[in-house]
Structures are given as structure tokens and as C-alpha cells.
Amino acid sequence: MDLTRLILNNTAEPDKTRVNPSFIESKIKNDKKVYIETYGCQMNYSDTEIVLSVMDEFGYNETTDINDTDVILLNTCSIRENAEHKVYKRLDDLKKYKVRNPNLVIGILGCMAERLRDDLLNKRKIVDVIAGPDEYRKVPHLIDNTIETGEKGIAVKLSRVETYDDITPLRREGITAWISIMRGCDKFCTFCVVPFTRGRERSRSLTNIVNEARRLNEDGVKDIWLLGQNVNSYKFEDNDFSDLLREVAIAVPEMRIRYTTSHPYDLSMKLLETMAKYDNICNYIHLPVQSGSDRVLKSMNRLYTVEQYLNVMRKSRELMPDVGLSTDIISCFPGETEDDHKMTLDVISEVRYDGAYTFVYSPRENTKAYYLPDDIDQETKTRRLDEIITLQRKISVEINKELVGKTKKVLIESLSRKSDDFYMARTDCNKSVIIPVEPGHVSSAGELVIKQQYKIGDFVNAKINKANSATLFAEVI
Ligand code: SAH
Ligand code: SF4
Ligand code: F3S
């Protein structure tokens, strides 16, 4: 017997579960727990908050205890092979929970759900529910149906209109929040799965985004990230991304505003000018270059030349002298020669990034680059990546050491991951700064002298005493 029933979406319009008359009934009926793990980019973390909000309306409450839950969801990433391996490995781990509790429902959300639906459905017996990034309104229905009938549920249709604009994400406490401003990507870089897993670009209403920022401000959030795969192609009515950024900056002047990710082709001078004009828009730009070779960039379909990219970097430094700059680099794209690789190292030396995320090219089925021969041997791959990382680390250390002795305004974001005796704070240009929780010192008479009290969410002036490639260490003055 085929236990699999495909739940098909016949329409491109999202069905608004919020006005579903069965809502009240469902809420009363369900008092269940859902545990969710998130992999991949910030968009996925932001989507998890949307899923939790949809689930909450149907009586599913989040739990952080995997041993005591009715549903386990993995919100997954497909960007590179190892991202998918991690989830497959995790699915193997989850078998033991299903053995312990045969009624447990296991669901796969996100980009792998979209890309690997057949494999997940047919080869991974423990997966009950599969929902792609544009189908999150259906997740509670799919789960309810699985619980009631034992049938598997799948919903993976991509939409041209779904932005979840009307859903208030269920956020965890904290002073930082994400706001998704757009979904999908139309760029089709030849190496990338995102246009296939997240579909076409679409933007949320400017007014709703501004109102969400205002609400977060009232809730005590101090730092917001505007998110999209390519925020620079945000377009709503006559407004582009710099219009949106300006409106948010004016609406919540006491909040820090950041965004990610930008594509160099769409980054306008108007955006740089807007960033420079408003103090609360952080002077930080993450602008993936991917390669320093025009030939490789062309083969990647990145739509810019190295010179055009460097001009954007120069202009941003001209307008914002202390701007923080970071990038993404793919090493060993098919056909990359030793000369191409050296050109990438040259761009790193020229820009002097504060930081870089570097990856070895990972072939992804169905992308254009997949059909190019992955022709670089493993030893060369390891060496080139290592050279990029070593050079970038050296530059990051040099830049950070120049900050020793200087004072920076930082926002205290959380306790440090390594010790409760320290806070993790961040500079405007996105550098992590570790400061002691207890601002006092012991006097010569042996008494603790408290100079000043500060807490998470406060802006303080921090004098940098020490630095390595990733972190600054400071005291509050
Ligand atoms: N939308 C963003 C990036 C999303 S993916 C942008 O365009 O900038 C994040 C990074 O993963 C990319 O910038 C790229 O450096 C890397 N990446 C994407 N596909 C990859 C692949 N097939 N192999 C290796 N790295 C990849
Ligand atoms: Fe992928 Fe390119 Fe779109 Fe970024 S811009 S998500 S790398 S296709
Ligand atoms: Fe991964 Fe999908 Fe984000 S592939 S990087 S989770 S858009």
C-alpha cells in the first residue's frame, strides 16, 4: 500500500490559514510540542520564526527538549554538499527517537525539502512531512494529517507571490532581530541552487516592513538585520532598497540597522549615500566577490568585472571611511587556473577585508556549472583554500591590531559564548568585542569598586586592549 499522499497546491496564491474557520477548533484540539533545528543562512533562521508562528496558531508550542516532543522539524540548507550531508547524518541520529516514540512526526523544511523531495520521501523512511520554503502555511495541516492518518505529507510548490507578509514571526528573546524583506533570487549564478530552492524574487510591502521595525523597537530590540538573498534588488511599487533603508532608518532612529546579502551588480551609489547619511544604518557591507578573475566571474554569471567591484569598494570607503567590509569567495570553480587564483588573492590584498567566508566550489546538480568538469585535484583545492584563508587571516589581524588603544561605541548583544563572566558586544562595523560583565575592580583596600553598571542592550564605549583575527577584547570606559 502506498502510504504517500501528495498534497498538491493548485494555486499560486498562498492560502491564508489565519482566516481558516477550522482554526479555533485546531487550536483547542492541539496541545502539542514542536522541536525545530535550523541549518543554513539567516533567511532560514528567519523562516523558522515564521514556521513557529504558524505552528503556534494551531496549538503547537516550541520546545527545546528533543526527548519530549511530538514533532521534530529540520529546516535545511542545500548550498554545498556538506550542508546536505550534515542533515542526512542528523536524520540517521533521529532514528532512535522514532524507535522510542513511534508516534513522533519528523519533518524536513527548507531548501533540501525543495531540492531532494523524492530522495527524502522514498529513501528516508523516517521522514513524514516535507515542506518547501513557500509552503510553510501548510506545515501544521500536513502534520495533523500525518498524525490522524499515518500518511506522509508533501508540499513543495514554489510561489511567485508568497512573502508571509501578514505573519508576525515568533521571535526568541534578544536584542537582535531579522526582518525578511524579500524572498527568492533571479540572478542564477551558475554555481548556485538558491534560485531553484527558493524560486523567483518577490518583495514585501515597504509599509509592513517599517511597521515591523517599529514594533520590534517597542519590544526592546536594538539591532535589526534586513534580510534577502539579494536585498539590492528589493522593489516594492516605486521604492528600491535604498528607499526602504531610509524609511526604516527614519522610523526607528535609535535602532541599529544592517542588511545582508548584497549582489555587487545591483548595489547602487544611492544606497551607499543613504548608508553614509543616516547614523543608525551601520557602516558595514558584506559584498560577495566570489573570484578575482574576470574570466571566472563571467563563467559564474556574476554580471560584474573585478574593476567594477573594486570601484564599489573604493566608493564605499570614500563615503564611509571606517566602513567594515567582508566577502564570500568560492575557490576552485571549474577551470580556475593558478593565475585566476592569484587574482583572487590580489583582490583580497587590494580591498583588505575585515573578514571573508571562503568555500571550495561544490558541484550542485541541475545548476549550469554542474555540467562543467570539476577539474581541479583535491590537493590543489586544499592548498588554494588554505592560501586564501591564511592571507585573509593575516589582514584581519593587522586591521584589528590597529584598533588596539582606540575607543569604539559598542552594543552589548549577549553573554559571551565561552564564559558568563564576559559579554559579547559589537561595533557598528560588525566586529565582535568581548567585555567583562563586572565592570568593577578590587581597590588597594580590598574592596570591589563598581565604576558603572551596564547590561545586554546597552550601548557603551569600549576601549580595545587586545585583538586577534576574529575578536577584539576591551574594557568599558
Ligand atoms: N545570495 C548571496 C549568497 C548566498 S549563498 C549572494 O549572492 O551573495 C552564500 C555563499 O555561498 C555564496 O556567496 C557563495 O560564496 C557560496 N556558495 C554558493 N553556492 C556554492 C557552491 N555551489 N559551492 C561553494 N560555495 C557556494
Ligand atoms: Fe545564489 Fe547568486 Fe542568487 Fe546569491 S545572487 S543567491 S549566489 S544565485
Ligand atoms: Fe542554504 Fe537555502 Fe540559505 S540553500 S544558504 S538555506 S537559501
8 A C-beta contact, residue 177 and residue 225: yes
pLDDT score for 24: 46
| Alpha-carbon dihedral 289, 294, 300, 303, rounded to 10 degrees | 80
Instruction: Pick the residue whose CA is nearest to atom 5 on ligand 3.
Output: 41
Distance 401 CA to ligand 3 centre (A): 34
Owner of C-alpha cell 522593489 = 235
- The count of domains in the chain is 3
Atom of ligand 2 nearest to the CA of 302: 2
pLDDT score for 454: 86
In a domain, 229, yes or no: yes
Residue 14 and residue 63 in one domain: yes
Indicate the residue among 401, 434, 450 that finishes a domain: 401
- Residue 383 has a CB neighbour count (10 Å cut-off) of 14
Ligand nearest to the CA of 367: 1
Residue 31: partners with Cβ closer than 8 Å, 6 or more residues away: 59, 61
8 A C-beta contact, residue 474 and residue 239: no
- Residue 18 has a CB neighbour count (10 Å cut-off) of 11
Site to probe by mutation for ligand 2, drawn from 42, 79, 189, 304 as the one with most ligand atoms within 8 Å of Cβ, is: 189
pLDDT score for 29: 60
In a domain, 469, yes or no: yes
pLDDT score for 20: 44
pLDDT for 289-327, tens place per residue?
A: 999 999 999 999 999 999 999 999 999 999 999 999 999
What cell was used for 157? 510548490
Residue 440 and residue 383 in one domain: no
In a domain, 255, yes or no: yes
Distance CA 90, CA 80 (A): 16
In a domain, 161, yes or no: no
Distance CA 98, CA 399 (A): 50
Q: What is the CATH number of the domain that holds 414?
A: 2.40.50.140
Residue 267 and residue 370 in one domain: yes
Q: Write out the E strands in 21-136.
A: 32-38, 60-62, 71-76, 105-110, 129-131
pLDDT score for 53: 96
In a domain, 284, yes or no: yes
Q: Which residues of 245-280 are buried (b: 16+ CB within 10 A; e: fewer)?
A: bbbbbeebeebbbbbbbbbbebbeeebbebbbeeee
**Does 43 contact ligand 3 (Cβ within 6 A)?**
yes
Distance 41 CA to ligand 3 centre (A): 5
Ligand nearest to the CA of 286: 1
Output phi, psi for 231, to 5 deg: -60, -25
Q: Which of 46, 58, 10, 37 has its CA nearest to residue 204?
A: 46
Indicate the residue among 99, 124, 155 that finishes a domain: 155
Q: Which of 102, 108, 105, 36 has its CA nearest to residue 71?
A: 105
pLDDT score for 449: 65
Residue 92: partners with Cβ closer than 8 Å, 6 or more residues away: none
Distance CA 98, CA 191 (A): 36
Residue 133 and residue 218 in one domain: no
pLDDT score for 9: 33
pLDDT score for 441: 62
In a domain, 107, yes or no: yes
Distance 100 CA to ligand 3 centre (A): 31
- Residue 24 has a CB neighbour count (10 Å cut-off) of 9
Helix ranges (H only) for 125-256 are 139-149, 194-198, 206-218, 241-251
Indicate the residue among 347, 378, 401 that finishes a domain: 401
Atom of ligand 1 nearest to the CA of 262: 8
Instruction: State percent of the chain over pLDDT 70.
Output: 92
Instruction: Pick the residue whose CA is nearest to atom 2 on ligand 2.
Output: 189
pLDDT score for 439: 60
Write the DSSP symbol of residue 266: G
Residue 359 and residue 291 in one domain: yes
Range of the domain at 447: 407-476
**Does 229 contact ligand 2 (Cβ within 6 A)?**
yes
**Below-70 pLDDT ranges, the chain:** 1-29, 439-443, 448-452
Q: What is the CATH number of the domain that holds 199?
A: 3.80.30.20
Residue 384 and residue 412 in one domain: no
Residue 210 and residue 249 in one domain: yes
Residue 423 and residue 387 in one domain: no
Residue 69 and residue 183 in one domain: no
pLDDT for 256-282, tens place per residue?
A: 999 999 999 999 999 999 999 999 999
Residue 226 and residue 347 in one domain: yes
Ligand nearest to the CA of 328: 1
pLDDT score for 41: 95
